[in-house]
Structure 1
């Protein structure tokens, strides 16, 4: 006799979606791939954690951690609405966590958010609020946060995870650190993209305890204010910031590299052609720096994280017309970065390295 599939849980009395806790085991446990593709120069290879292959992407780890932490402390009531600002990637993670835990999700984005990502988020049940102009100070992030506060004020019982300052954000990446430590016998260099500071803060502590001499390289975007550079309008999404999240801790990094969009695009496209695995702006940026680190220290074990896959970037990074319009196809990246003595010594306009990320000497 064939048994009928079990009925889904009934809707909550608050109108929230039913929780689907069976989704939670799908988070994490992503593969660690060895990358040898020249980017653009040959290198000995580095390890890349392929977070695009986990349900909800890399930031599902942070989203689940922030919501479960808030529920445990009584800050997030069952079925209450979750409201957050996002440039896209955390939004996908929160849409996943909202379904798994039974919470409606309202995401405050901006009109730079790709149409494909808007459709994806709405398909997953999230409601979108979009701001149409950046704030005079703080850019798109400040404008999104101002709208977020308006949404909170009109939504009774709503909870704001505050990804920029919430310690449960980095705590969500402890599982990733454990997965890396379990897979590798040794690690000399860790390369991390930096935006809200979540995954870098979550990885560095436990991996440094495992390997005390671990050298940590942060990768930021040109035009980002995170490490003392002037804030500018940025083409790249997912790394960099015009504000200063508390989760970003400059003292954790041994050096910082700023990467420009043309350099990230070149690396993304080379990865797609040569390794099949690729991603967006953050992936291209960390891949370029990880390949350089592996080349600079032959024999060193180098690892990084590819935060997502290529799909949301088909109309930007992988679109020839977009890249030509924005001047992203003209030159092959240099073999290495320009060096500056401290973050305020000169404005980074392309690949730039600083070995004193904590500030001026």
Structure 2
């Protein structure tokens, strides 16, 4: 029996979408990360019950941290984006978390900078607050160890490809790390929105919508770039098509990042049919009803959608591009990567 709701929803379900293609479906993915981080901080004596934990969030992490704080008797303060909707605001209030939202902005970089700036102001005014630093602290990897154990136990032995949004790096990076430590042959494939700086695509932009949560307009210091083997950049229109197709074919009602991951996972499975491909679905589709699912009858079928394979991040083209990653290179020129690898082999 679970002792708290957070623990009941922290672990994902593994759903076979088709042979060799598996969805790792979370109710709220970052609950696992937040629970693991808060538990680690308490055990290490870095925080005490009753302390206030503070961080910035566009939505999912706010809910996750509020639940983790509720579970462990902590106070929670969130500096939120305007994407935090009424449904989440009500839950945060009842859970005892406090929320302040920055002024509206259509610019993701400005929104993130405003939130980080406000966190800095709060820490100066309240030095006893503990900043969770979800964008920078590797402690957020810890909670995914049990998820990696589940994936390793339940999926067939053999080569495995993990597909998911890069975001802060914690979910995909942690899964690959722990699975590799257990001896699995793991390829890690990350997904970014156009405009994200994490792997050097800040010169691009998506005219329709930035997919919040899988990319960033500011540097995330807990993304371990050397963990990733390949990257895909995907625009809103294709991620939307993927989300609709995922629901239509499997019944999985998930958000835009899951839609993008589904398309990429299909592509990776076709690319390497000998590998089992597992893709992350980090949340449900409820908050995307208007953005993604309204007008679903006009969304294109996914069977004909494929990425443009490019040699360099400077060659990225919408709506979908992919390239191999040079370890530690911020997604720099894949052509240089091939040269380096060829030189190493020779």
Normalised to the residue count of structure 1, the TM-score between the two structures is: 0.82
SS at match of 2:153: helix
- Return the structure number with greater helix share: 2
The answer on 1:31 being equivalent to 2:13 is: yes
In 2, Cα distance between the equivalents of 1:316 and 1:191?
A: 23
Match of 2:323 in 1: 354
In structure 1, list runs of 5 or more residues that go unmatched.
1-19, 37-43
C-alpha displacement of 1:30: 2.5
* 1:274 positional shift: 1.9
What is the distance in 2 between the residues matched to 1:302 and 1:356?
19
Q: Which residue in the other structure is 1:16 paired with?
A: none
What are the ranges of 5 or more consecutive residues in structure 2 without an aligned counterpart? Answer: 337-346
Instruction: Indicate how the Cα distance of structure 1 residues 336 and 139 shifts in structure 2: closer, same or farther if over 3 A, else same.
Output: same
Query: What residue number does 1:201 align with?
Result: 173
Q: Displacement, 1:247?
A: 1.5
CA distance in 1, matches of 2:127, 2:270: 54
The equivalent residue for 1:255 is 230
Asked if structure 2 preserves the Cα contact closer than 8 Å seen for 1:278 and 1:310, the reply is: yes
CA distance in structure 1 between the aligned counterparts of 2:64 and 2:166, rounded to whole angstroms: 17
- Equivalence map 1:270-281=2 (5 Å): 270-281=245-256
1:238 lines up with 2:188 in the alignment: no
Matching of residues 256-295 of structure 1 within 5 Å: 256-295=231-270
The C-alpha deviation readout for 1:81-112, integer Å capped at 9, x for no partner, is 11110011111111110110111211111223
1:118 to 1:24, Cα distance in 2 relative to 1, 3 A:
closer
Separation in 1 of the partners of 2:301 and 2:194? 17
Helix, strand or coil at the partner of 2:315: coil
Please say if 1:85 is aligned against 2:67: no
> Deviations 1:155-193 (Å, cap 9, x if unpaired)?
352111101111110111111100100101224211121
| Alignment partner, residue 112 of structure 2 | 141
Partner residue of 1:335? 305
Judge conservation of contact 2:194–2:210 (CA < 8 Å) in 1.
no
Mean Cα displacement is larger for which, 171-180 or 61-70? 61-70
Partner of 2:343: none
Q: 3-state SS of the aligned residue for 2:293?
A: coil
Question: In structure 1, how many angstroms separate the alpha carbons of the residues matched to 2:251 and 2:26?
Answer: 14
RMSD: 2.5
Output the TM-score relative to the length of structure 2. Answer: 0.85
Q: Which whole-Å deviations, capped at 9, do the CAs of 1:323-354 have from their partners, x for residues lacking one?
A: 89xxxx565554320111122x2244211001
Distance 1:152 1:258 in 2: 35
What aligned pairs does 1:127-206 form with structure 2 within 5 A after superposition? 127-134=98-105, 138-155=109-126, 157-186=128-157, 187-206=159-178
